[in-house]
Every structure is written in structure tokens, then in C-alpha cells.
Structure 1
Amino acid sequence: MPVAIALISPLIVACALFMESADANIIVTALPSMARDFGSDPVSLKIAIISYVVSLGVFIPICGWLADRFGSRTVFRTAIGIFIAGSLMCAASRSMHFFTLARFLQGIGGAMMVPVGRIIIFRSVPKSEFVRAMNYLSMPAMFAPAAAPLLGGFLTTYLHWRLIFFINVPIGLLGIYLTNRYIANTHEPHPGPLDWTGFVLSALGASLALLGLSLIGTDIVADRTAYEMCLVGAFLLALYVLYAQRAERPVLELRFLRIPTYRASVLGGSMFRIGLGAVPFLLPLALQEGLGMTAFGSGLITCASAFGSMFMRSLTSLTLRRFGFRTVLIYNAAFSGVAIAAYGTFFPGTSLWYIWLVVLLGGFFPALQFTSLNSMIYADIASRDVGRATSLGSVVQQMSLGLGVVVGGIVLQIARAVHGHAHVTWSDFWPAFLVVGLFSFGSIPISRRLSPDAGDEIARGSRG
């Protein structure tokens, strides 16, 4: 039985991870087609991406407590069920408002699936099988970003975009069945009280601020309402900062930001992730709305980024051992920024080979930066604090990715207005890619403050 669990449990969790990762990558290819059906501007559909990211960010911190309180199996299968329900609601959506709500519901399921899935593996797999289990878990993370744009583009071009959301249904139902049969309902006997005050303040604050920013300049709500959402959200976040300084165990522990390696990974990394978060939104729009490609043609191009990322992952350990975290984070931030800004060089008639090569490099350098940031975050964190440090880091990471979509969308709207275009064209995209690329450079001053040997223990101990 232990051998069976070591094989089956990671594969069950991997199915959930594939659903979550594929869904995040598959929707962006279909955005222009969705916008036409909803009678909306494609740029306005950034709210659908952001609502999902916000939902992920605000619910991730309470997943561990829920698993301890109600049992990991109960929470995991409930999360899959919520994700399936959200997927079906997305497929049935007839308006932007309903679709945004459905994406938020999907995000709740996604927020619980992956972290609780990792808890299941940690508790059910023998230590002798742990490395093999994590290898199983990493497979969908590598495969989904490459397969999803192709599959989503094919379905959108030759069938209908609504079908992309039905992919999750059979996978999710199989996951629920296997979870009931093979996964034990483990939980901690006394998880302690949840910081509900901190959760409400941080969740509402982050949601209102980010959603408000994404709604500015759209036809979904009046701009005044969007600005009011931003102000209320900022006020609630400020209240949370004051509250967290006095709370005994706040849901998001801000004191970790005093640790240099953690601060560089979270705050410095957030600047880089703004640029990274904008690319999956801007690139398919640039290829389809700017260069006139089909959704499938766009998917054939955007999957190159995943191949670049896969190749770099095989070199990350060697690179970190050779140069160290500080050097890699400083120089590779510049390389990543240039790679992201290079997307703005596309114009009608650009060689497909050139576009594919630029997109390949756009996955290569950011993958090294992303992996380095995610590794260094634990460099000086005590083992007892790993869970709480992960919660704060995950929230900031998700919000930064969402903010990238906001920034990219706003710059795109401004460029279109300045150029006087009724609809976005290829010449409107280069300012957006340039601005989000510059954000990557913004992480360099924070990384420069690291000591030359920061994170060396992790860098030396990494394995290719």
C-alpha cells in the first residue's frame, strides 16, 4: 500500500495542478473571441484574468488552516468541485459580469487545490519516495504551459471557445473519485483559531484595490466607482498593516520582510513579476489583434515561451552554483526586461521565425529569474516559519502578477487613445511591452543590497 500511495497520491494532485495551470494558460488565447461574443473590448477582458488571480491570492493564506480543521481530503475534493463549477459557469457565461464572477469562483477552487495537494503529498508519501513524488508533481507544471495555448487556440479557432472550459470536467471528476478512494482525510487535532479580522482586511483590501485598478477605463463600471474601489482597498490594506503589527499571529506576517533575502525575493521579485504577469495577457492580444493571427496561430507562437522555460530550468542549478543569487538576480533582471520589451518589436510582416525566437527567449530568461526568486525566499527562514512565510510570499506573488495585467492594460489603453485608434492595432502594443519590461529593471536596486554570499547554502546545495 505505501508504494501505491507514493505513486497515486502525487498523480492525483498532479491532475489538479494540471487543471489549474492549463486553465490559466488556455484562457488568454481565447480572449479576443470571448470579447466579440460579449460585445466588449478585448482589453477590458483583463478583469477576467485579474479576478482569478485576486481570488487565488486572497484565499491561499487560509488553505493550510482549512485542511487542518476539516481534513485535507475534504478540502481537496471540495476545491476540485468548486473549480469544476466555476469552469461550467465560465462556459455558460453570456456577459462579462457573469464571466468575471465565474472566474473568481474558479480562483477559490484553484487557491485550495494546489497548496492542500502539497500537504497531502507531504503527509502521505514516505520520505524515501518524496523526491519521486515531487517529480510527478512537476510534470504538469512543465507540460501545461506548452499544451494549453495549442489546445485552447485549436478549440477557439475551429470549434468554440466555450469548449475549453469543459476540459476540466472529466479530469476533475476523476480526481474527486480517486481522492475519495485513495487519499486519507488527515488533519491536525488543534489547528488553533484563524485570524478572521486580518483575513477580511487583507482580502477585501487587495481585492478592491486590484479590481478597481483593472476597471478604470472600461465599460463595466463608471470610472468614479473604480476609483472609489481603489481608495477603499488602499484604506483597508493600510488598516491591515497597522493591525498586523499588534496581532499575535496575523494571517499574513509582515515581519518576514525584515529578512534581506526574503525582502529581495518578495518585494524585489514583485517588480519583476509585474512584467512577467503582463506577458500572457498582452502577447496573445498583440498576435491576434495586432498581427491578425488566428487563435491557433497565436497558440503555436506563445508555446515557445514554455519551451524556453523548460530548457532554462535544466540550467538553473548550475547557473546559481556558478554565479550566486545576487549576481544572477541583478544581471538576469536586465536580460529579462529586455526580453519582455522585445515583444514590442513585432509588426505586420515580421518573420515568424523571428517572432518565435523572441518568444523563446522571453521564456528563457524570466524562468531563471522566477526560479531563483522562489528558491531564495527560504534562504534565511526558520523551518517552523516556512508555512507562514510561504503564505505572504504567495499572496504578494499573485497580486504582482495581477498588477502586471493591470499595468499592461492601462498602458495599452493610453497608447490607443494617444494614437487615436478605435481598436487596438500593432503600434499600440510596443509602449505596453516597454513599460512592463522596465519594471523588471526596478528589482535591481533591491537585489544590489544583498550580500555577495546571500543564499549560498541553497545555491551550493541545488542539484540540476
Structure 2
Amino acid sequence: MSEATTQAQTGRRRRSATALAVLVAGTYFMELLDGTIVSTAAPAIGRDLGVDSAAVGIAITAYLVTLAVLIPVSGWVTDRVGSRTVFLGAIVVFTAASGLCAAADSLATLTAWRVVQGLGGALMVPVGRLVVLRSAGRDRLVTAIAILTWPALAAPIVAPFLGGVLVDALSWHWIFLVNLPFGAVALVAAAVLVPQERGAERVPFDWVGAVLACLGLGGLVVMASLLSLTHVPVVAATVAGVVGAVCCWLAVRHLRRADHPILGLDALRLETFRVSHAGGSLFRLGVSAVPFVLPLLFQDAWGWSAVAAGSAVLFVFVGNLGIKPTTTPLLRAFGYRPVVIGSTATAAVSVVLMTFLTPTTPFWVLAVLLVVSGAARSVGFTAYNTIAFADVESTAMTPANTLSSTLQQVAAGFGVAVAAVVLRAAAPLGGPGSSVPYDAAFVVVTVLLAAACLEGVLMSRDAGSAVRPARRAAAR
């Protein structure tokens, strides 16, 4: 085979892998957007369905709980049924459920269709990411993960603004209807791009592990959702937390001993995977809390309008996008350890500086700070998400991906809960319009990010070297 033919085949493989990563990133964005955008539309939904806006929270919780409890079974279903079949089916379920959510005429109906929507999302994204990880290869892993990372960066920032625009200009139904054309395009693209892959062997379903994992994760996510409410039902949150913690403990014991566990834990023995989901989880908790706290600070303490607050937070998104072309070159030039340390430290410093913001702070200063915070957020997300699979063998990719998706889903859900609890606990320290509770939340977030930075300092210097392209190859 000639060198020209080989290069042509390599080029086609890279373009195919990139197109597949973009497709999965698009479906990931839809899933994340629907997890957060309903909060903005809650008052309008409540008025239309004849319930209090706070009651609409059950539709949000139902979606997040379904995602968390069903992700662990995605790996087994994929190996048994096939990646293309599951991915196409998940897109159909998610898109159809979105349309049915828009047609809901009661809160009970809306909640039921949100559960179905969560079922589609729980299979759609982990399966899509697994296909990308398998097809990218180690030489394209950094680029593929960088593409898959942008939805996690964009959705929490864009959702409040987009939700407000759709509700004000059209109606709350459109926060679900926008998924229909995107779902149709994704379905056609998936039929062309996604390969049909199954597991090498057919293993029995781990019913005990599945039940314990579902109850444990479901309990923790319910507790997090309850803690983020304005008025916390203490008894219900405590019961959910205790049940979740006990079931998770029992699940870990079972998963370590089972011959074919529904959720494999072996990847945690790898330093790179462990760092990605220990310090990485702290990082995700911290950066997930910031977009939640900032709009509340701008509106409740500074008296800004919802549109003004949402527009200001978009500068975090500007930082996300602006730094994105340089994330891969940074990893290539410096390696994972310095990039993890630099991104977590920069994120921590930017959050500390937020405690010094006041209503009289020049807007350009605020904008620069948010851009820097968003840039650190983007680099950190890419580094943690990529290093997770640096040392995972291809034969172990399915259980590692399933475990990664599960841990990331739980960590993201707790980010808002942690911030909400701190805001309520610190509320008595300041009067009406005081920024003290928000400063307290920023301090807690800083501690989380500092802990992630410390773990980065303790990382091996050559961590992630297996997926770090050589500088000479990167310069071609």
C-alpha cells in the first residue's frame, strides 16, 4: 500500500471520528440542556398547568434521577444489543418524549414523560461516548474528548438565557419542541456514522448490583435535588440520603465480589482514572456551582433583571469557547499534571476574586474575571475527561465508560445542591440584599477547587503520557 493511500485512509478515519464526536456532543448538549432549562420555565409551566412553580421541581428531579439510576445498565445493554441499535433507539425515545412533554396537560403527565425522556438520555450519551472512545484511538483521544466536553461547559451557562428567551418570546412548550428537529438530524447522522458493536461475550445481567446501584444513586440524587429547593423537606432529604448512602455501600461491596458486575470498579485502580473522578469530581462540583450562584447574586443582592444576569453569565461561556482551540496544544506542550494544576489553581483564584465583587465594580472587570473563570473551567474539564481513559485498555472501555458517566452525573447534580445549602446556611449572616451568603458559597467552592489542585500536585509527573501526542507529531 502506497504512502499516499495510507495517508488518505488515515485522513478519512480522523474525519469520521471527528464527525462522530460532534454528533455525540450534540446529543449530550440536548440531554444536559433539558436537565437545567426547565428551572427557568418553571413559573410559566406552573401557571399553565395550575400548580405552584415549586411543584414543577418534581419534573426536574424525575429526569435527573432517571438519568442517574439507568446509566449503570447502559454498558450491559450496549454489549448485548449493539451500539448502533441502542444509540438510535435512545435518540428516538428522547426526541419522542420531548414532544410528549410539550403536549403534557398536567404535572403528572409532564413528570411521566420526563422519566421516559431520562430513559432515552441515560442510554443515548454513555453509549455515544463509548463509541467515540472506541473509534478515536489513543492518537485522537484528546481531540475527541475536547469535542465531547463542550456541552458540559455550555449547557449550564446557556440554559437560563435560552430558556428565558424561549418562554418570553414563544411559550414554555418550546423548551421541549426545539429537540424535535435536532433529534431528527441526529437520528439520520447516527444511522450513517455509528458502527454496530457488541460485547465479545454475553454475560448475565447483575440484578442485585443493578437494584442496589439504582437505589443508592437514586437516593443520593433525590437528596441533592431536595437540598437545592427553597424550602427543604428535612425528613425526606435525610431519609433519601441515608437510603442512598447505605445502598451505595452495599453496592460497592457486591460489585467488588460479583463475577459480572453491572458497574465495574476495576478502573479505579488506575491512577489516571482515579484522579479524574476524585479531584475531577471536586472540580466539577465547584465549577457547576458557580453558574448557579452568580445569577442569584446579580438578581437578589444587586437587583439586576433576569435578562441582565443571564447575559453577564454568558461571559463564562465566552471564556469556555475562547480557550477551547488551545486546550489540546496545552496538553501536548506541558502534559496533564501541569495543566490540571494550572486550571484548578486559576479556577480557585478566580472564584476567590468573586468575593470582592460589588454592584459598583466596573462591568469590564466583571467580564474579564468571568472569561478567565470560564477558560480555566474549559481547560480543566478537558484535562480531567481525557486523562480518565489514558490507561484504560480497549477491552475494559465499556465498564470504565459506564462508571465514568455515572460518577460524573452524580457529581454534577451535587454542585448546585452544595451551593444551595451554603447559601441557606449563611443567609442569617447578612440582611436583605447582602452579598455575605454568596461570598460564603464562593469560599466553599474555592476550598473544593483547592483540594482538586492539591491532588494534581500529588499526581505522577508522567500521568496521561499514553495519550499525550509527541510535540514533533503535533507540529506536523
Q: TM-score range by the shorter chain?
A: 0.7 to 0.9
Q: Which residue does the alignment assign to 1:449?
A: 458
Distance 1:303 1:328 in 2: 24
Q: Which residue does the alignment assign to 1:59?
A: 70
Q: Which residue does the alignment assign to 1:211?
A: 222
Greater shift, 257-266 or 155-164, is seen at 155-164
Where do residues 29-428 of structure 1 align in structure 2 (5 Å cutoff)?
29-30=40-41, 52-88=63-99, 90-91=101-102, 103-118=114-129, 148-176=159-187, 187=198, 190-216=201-227, 218=229, 222-419=233-430, 426-428=435-437
Q: 1:273 to 1:104 in 2, by over 3 A?
A: farther
Q: Deviations over 1:254-277 (max 9, x none)?
A: 233232222222112111111122
**Does the residue aligned with 2:257 lie in a helix, a strand or coil?**
coil
What's the CA shift for 1:246?
Answer: 1.1
CA contact (8 A) 1:146 1:307 kept: no
Distance 2:348 2:57 in 1: 22
Decide which of 454, 458, 463 is 2:467's aligned counterpart: 458
CA contact (8 A) 2:141 2:386 kept: no
What's the CA shift for 1:102?
Answer: 5.2
Greater shift, 343-352 or 330-339, is seen at 343-352
Greater shift, 333-342 or 123-132, is seen at 123-132
What's the CA shift for 1:218?
Answer: 4.5
What's the CA shift for 1:131?
Answer: 11
Distance 1:206 1:136 in 2: 27
Distance 1:232 1:133 in 2: 37
What's the CA shift for 1:226?
Answer: 1.9
Distance 2:34 2:62 in 1: 14
**Does the residue aligned with 1:59 lie in a helix, a strand or coil?**
helix
Q: Deviations over 1:199-255 (max 9, x none)?
A: 221121011123124324847874212211111111111111211221123222223
Q: 1:27 to 1:342 in 2, by over 3 A?
A: farther
What's the CA shift for 1:333?
Answer: 1.7
Q: Which residue does the alignment assign to 2:438?
A: 429
Q: 1:116 to 1:352 in 2, by over 3 A?
A: same
What's the CA shift for 1:104?
Answer: 4.5
What's the CA shift for 1:308?
Answer: 0.9
What's the CA shift for 1:284?
Answer: 3.1
Distance 1:11 1:182 in 2: 11
**Does the residue aligned with 1:378 lie in a helix, a strand or coil?**
coil
Q: 1:106 to 1:294 in 2, by over 3 A?
A: farther
Greater shift, 143-152 or 326-335, is seen at 143-152
Distance 2:190 2:467 in 1: 34
Distance 1:114 1:252 in 2: 17
Greater shift, 345-354 or 434-443, is seen at 345-354
Q: 1:96 to 1:357 in 2, by over 3 A?
A: farther
Distance 2:277 2:410 in 1: 11
Q: 1:267 to 1:42 in 2, by over 3 A?
A: farther
Q: Deviations over 1:281-318 (max 9, x none)?
A: 33333334444444433332222222211222222233
What's the CA shift for 1:349?
Answer: 4.5
CA contact (8 A) 1:81 1:172 kept: yes
Q: 1:239 to 1:109 in 2, by over 3 A?
A: same
What's the CA shift for 1:408?
Answer: 0.7
Greater shift, 310-319 or 263-272, is seen at 310-319
Q: 1:290 to 1:35 in 2, by over 3 A?
A: farther
Distance 1:225 1:397 in 2: 24
TM-score, normalization: structure 1?
A: 0.81
Distance 2:19 2:324 in 1: 26
Q: 1:288 to 1:76 in 2, by over 3 A?
A: farther
Distance 1:377 1:67 in 2: 20
CA contact (8 A) 2:130 2:401 kept: no
Structure 1: tracts of 5 or more residues without a match: none
Is 2:444 the partner of 1:438?
no
The aligned amino acid for 1:413 is R
**Does the residue aligned with 1:442 lie in a helix, a strand or coil?**
helix
CA contact (8 A) 1:317 1:459 kept: no
Q: Deviations over 1:114-147 (max 9, x none)?
A: 2333456688999999999999878877876776
Distance 1:211 1:56 in 2: 12
What's the CA shift for 1:410?
Answer: 0.8
The aligned amino acid for 1:451 is S
**Does the residue aligned with 1:446 lie in a helix, a strand or coil?**
helix
Distance 2:135 2:78 in 1: 14
TM-score, normalization: structure 2?
A: 0.79
Q: 1:375 to 1:189 in 2, by over 3 A?
A: closer
The aligned amino acid for 2:452 is S
CA contact (8 A) 2:145 2:382 kept: no
Aligned residues: 462
What's the CA shift for 1:9?
Answer: 6.5
**Does the residue aligned with 1:379 lie in a helix, a strand or coil?**
coil
The aligned amino acid for 1:432 is A
What's the CA shift for 1:11?
Answer: 6.7
CA contact (8 A) 1:54 1:402 kept: no
Distance 1:152 1:270 in 2: 27
Distance 1:108 1:45 in 2: 19
Give the fraction of aligned pairs with identical amino acids, expressed as a percent. 36
What is the RMSD of the two structures over their aligned residues, measured on CA atoms? 4.3
CA contact (8 A) 1:321 1:460 kept: yes
The aligned amino acid for 1:306 is F
